[in-house]
Amino acid sequence: ILNVEQSPQSLHVQEGDSTNFTCSFPSSNFYALHWYRWETAKSPEALFVMTLNGDEKKKGRISATLNTKEGYSYLYIKGSQPEDSATYLCAFRSRAGNMLTFGGGTRLMVKP
């Protein structure tokens, strides 16, 4: 059983604050690391797919980094807005199979 962990479990910030969360995953047999954003009552939305050690990806105010050797990825949100409130999920894909193993998610709430 693969262990994918996210921290913190939940986070409350004020509008305009910058924030970051962590996803840790097995450092062996790495194939890809996915980040999703899941707003209440909506479909999880893909943010990034990261495959190479040292990868940095950016989408607007959201960016992510990847360290496959030590088994972690950071997701950063610059200048949080209320519409950023959602659960952020990471998912690990190993070379050994094609299924995604999800972390428990970080629930972000941004207060206006």
Partner 1 sequence: EAGVAQSPRYKIIEKRQSVAFWCNPISGHATLYWYQQILGQGPKLLIQFQNNGVVDDSQLPKDRFSAERLKGVDSTLKIQPAKLEDSAVYLCASSLDIRYYEQYFGPGTRLTVT
Least distance (Å) between residue 37 CB and partner 1: 11
- Give 14's contacts (C-beta < 8 A, 6+ positions apart): 80, 110, 111
Q: Which stretch binds partner 1 (CB under 8 A): 40-48, 52-60, 63-71, 78-86?
A: 40-48
Q: Based on CB atoms, which residue is closest to partner 1, 18 or 109?
A: 109
HSE at residue 28, side-chain half, CA atoms within 13 A, is 2
The single residue among 17, 20, 22, 44 that binds partner 1, judged by CB under 8 A, is 44
Q: Which stretch binds partner 1 (CB under 8 A): 30-38, 54-62, 68-76, 77-85?
A: 30-38
Strand pairing category for 19-24 and 72-77: antiparallel
